[in-house]
Structure 1
């Protein structure tokens, strides 16, 4: 273990971030390529702190990203800001082409049932929210299995305890949720009224007053 730590430290010292031996234009270009390489290689959005490890200490990550986006202007993929970092994404207009090819893709979206997707959407808009409150929205029991499926996909996690009797767990969305849906923050969620206008969501249907199944929230229900 100690040997690996020493080797890692030595590697850190040998890695040339500043590139002072290169002319300024070549230095900037190399920093751009390093940024692109790290983002391309990562399966998750890459944060500012991670990118700062491979460029000069006074280098602007934002300006490098801007230049890199311009550089990729005619490519079928782009670099987008999601979940507090940056990630390579195929441009939307090529989605049909990729589907037609039937190629295996690096999708961040696990397969969800229609009901699981609706529950996830409700958590996104109404978080922090308990399982009982979700059940009331849908007019039927939101089972522990549904919650477990969304947790297993990495889309939701336990939030603060609810102030309601029994102090049940609430649920909130995760960074993985933001990344999968291409959102920088929860403020980028589509406006509920806009979804209703587009016919994609009906709060009246979701809140239909029909008998509920068992919806008790066990204080230790995660």
Structure 2
């Protein structure tokens, strides 16, 4: 597609980067669609973070549906060991879960998960997971509010661990006396757990029906009585 590539880039005359021919009107429809597919896949492949729809729209025609392009790319990747996955508000090339063991054997467990993320989730203790779960469902939330859920103070070290893993970040100040910081989940949290948005979290009512979580117990500070003991155990191990 030499002629196409020549026409696709033209100097704008002011020393800035060449303009990209998005419309590709000189190409027949099938070749135009194929070129758009290649552009989208190459851009996502080259990015270290999920690529959003607005970014991809800059490299294809105005009338082109990015979602349909993604669908066609994913169809071509069917049977391959990797896929384009909607995660953290964009798309990312991720290897399929079936190859997790092979990847870890090649690079070690520190390589991370097979479907994305930085591998921080594997380092979380059960108290970490419970606190992270509460932040995810009730954000923005203060450390004092988290402590009231568990009936024991949630330590600064635990919060620091989650922040160090980039799974949570400081949110807006609470309107309560003293205006303490709240905590919210991050884009890295979505990527780590393979979520596109927080709307993809398991339905709270479904978790209650499955007996995995009780909103009433959370609000009453009566969730997982053993949380306190486990948090103390983790603290003892850390101090040693």
**Do residues 112 (structure 1) and 117 (structure 2) align?**
no
For 1:220, the equivalent position in structure 2 comes to none
Identify unmatched segments of 5+ residues in structure 1: 1-5, 214-222
- Shift in Å, 1:120: 1.5
**Do residues 188 (structure 1) and 200 (structure 2) align?**
yes
For 2:22, the equivalent position in structure 1 comes to 17
Contact 1:196 1:202 in 2 (8 A): yes
| CA–CA distance in structure 1, aligned partners of residues 32 and 158 of structure 2 | 51
- Shift in Å, 1:65: 0.7
Superposition TM-score, scaled by structure 1 size: 0.78
| CA–CA distance in structure 1, aligned partners of residues 92 and 56 of structure 2 | 12
Q: Name whichever of 61-70 and 17-26 sits farther off.
A: 17-26
Contact 2:117 2:193 in 1 (8 A): no
For 1:147, the equivalent position in structure 2 comes to 159
RMSD between aligned residues? 3.0
- Shift in Å, 1:196: 6.0
Q: Name whichever of 119-128 and 192-201 sits farther off.
A: 192-201
- Shift in Å, 1:152: 3.0
| CA–CA distance in structure 2, aligned partners of residues 147 and 74 of structure 1 | 41
- Shift in Å, 1:145: 2.7
Secondary structure in 1 aligned to 2:141?
Answer: coil
Identify unmatched segments of 5+ residues in structure 2: 1-13, 232-240
| CA–CA distance in structure 1, aligned partners of residues 228 and 84 of structure 2 | 47
1:152-192 superposed Cα distances (whole Å, 9 cap, x missing partner): 33222222322332221111112221122111221211134
For 2:141, the equivalent position in structure 1 comes to 129
Alignment of 1:89-108 (within 5 A): 89-102=94-107, 104=111, 107-108=117-118
1:139 to 1:112, Cα distance in 2 relative to 1, 3 A: farther
For 1:47, the equivalent position in structure 2 comes to 52
1:139 to 1:209, Cα distance in 2 relative to 1, 3 A: farther
- Shift in Å, 1:108: 2.4
| CA–CA distance in structure 2, aligned partners of residues 99 and 27 of structure 1 | 39
Secondary structure in 2 aligned to 1:86?
Answer: strand
Q: Which has the higher contact order (CA 8 A, sep 6+)?
A: 1
Q: Name whichever of 74-83 and 112-121 sits farther off.
A: 112-121
Task: Kindly tell me the number of residue pairs found equivalent between the two proteins.
Answer: 205
Contact 1:136 1:207 in 2 (8 A): no
For 1:175, the equivalent position in structure 2 comes to 187
1:20 to 1:170, Cα distance in 2 relative to 1, 3 A: same
1:116-139 superposed Cα distances (whole Å, 9 cap, x missing partner): 333212211121111011122233
